[in-house]
Amino acid sequence: MSERSNSRRIWPSTNEPLRRAVRRLHWFRTAFTSYTQEMEKRIGVECDVDEKKLAAIFIAWLRAVNAQKPSSAKARSAYFDFAASLMLRELIANMPLKARTTPQLVDENSAAAFWPEGYICTLFCLAVHDAVVKQEFNAPLPQRPPIDNIRSWWSFRENSREDSRFAAGFLQRLMGHEPNWAMPDIFTMPADDR
């Protein structure tokens, strides 16, 4: 978890709340590129970013989020979590990163070394989610399970290659939820909020 919580995060400046800024392509793209640069330094890897793919990913994500947006205000917090998982689904389905080198600053058996592109995308979704939630709800983030279990990452990479929906379930699990593995990219209201 230290990768998420201890890092100094500088998001692109904006006059809007982050929940709105993230729904703008120019902000999203700048944020993704900056975050990737930060991760490159941290894990010692060099990546190429395909900006054209990022635009397509952004629009696919925006449409998916708008399509399932719940009408109930009670679902707001849960939907923020779900929207982050859809973002990861789109990033994994149309991977915009390509590592040019092997990560040099992490253990060779770590998740970052195993799949640097997937690792960076996953942490980006969590980081954006955390920043938005912190600003919107002004509450501490819940404790989450560790994210460095290499078996989980192996399963994540293999399964999401066959079906990118798996990525949505993976992120929900990292956020401490139990996903509906049959339909991880379909929003269902948590029982507590109904």
Partner 1 sequence: MLEHFRPDRLALREALRGLRHTVHTGGQMVFDRLSSTSTERTPDLPGRHLLCDVENTAARLEAIGSDTMRFLLCEHTPSSRSMQALYELGFEDRQFARVVYDNLRLFLQQLGIGHAIVSELAARQAHGRLPANLLDLPEHEAAALIAFSLVDAGVIREGPVGLKSLRSKEADLAIAALLFWLLSNRAPEEDDQARLAAADMALAVEDEIVAALRERDKAALSALFEELAPHV
Three-state secondary structure along 95-127? CCEEECCCCCCCCCCCHHHHCHHHHHHHHHHHH
105: contact with partner 1 by CB under 8 A: no
Q: Does residue 24 belong to the site contacting partner 1 (CB under 8 A)?
A: yes
Binders of partner 1 in range 35-64 (CB under 8 A): 51-52, 54-56, 58-59, 62
Residue from 30, 33, 34, 180 in contact with partner 1 (CB under 8 A): 30
Question: Does residue 15 touch partner 1 according to CB under 8 A?
Answer: yes
Residues whose CB is less than 8 angstroms from the CB of residue 129 and which lie 6 or more positions away in sequence, other chains included: 80, 81, 83, 84, 175
**CB-nearer residue toward partner 1: 57 or 92:** 57
Contact between 26 and partner 1 per CB under 8 A: yes
CB 129 within 8 A of CB 84: yes
Residue 10 near partner 1 by CB under 8 A: no
Residues making contact with partner 1 (CB under 8 A) = 15, 23-26, 29-30, 51-52, 54-56, 58-59, 62
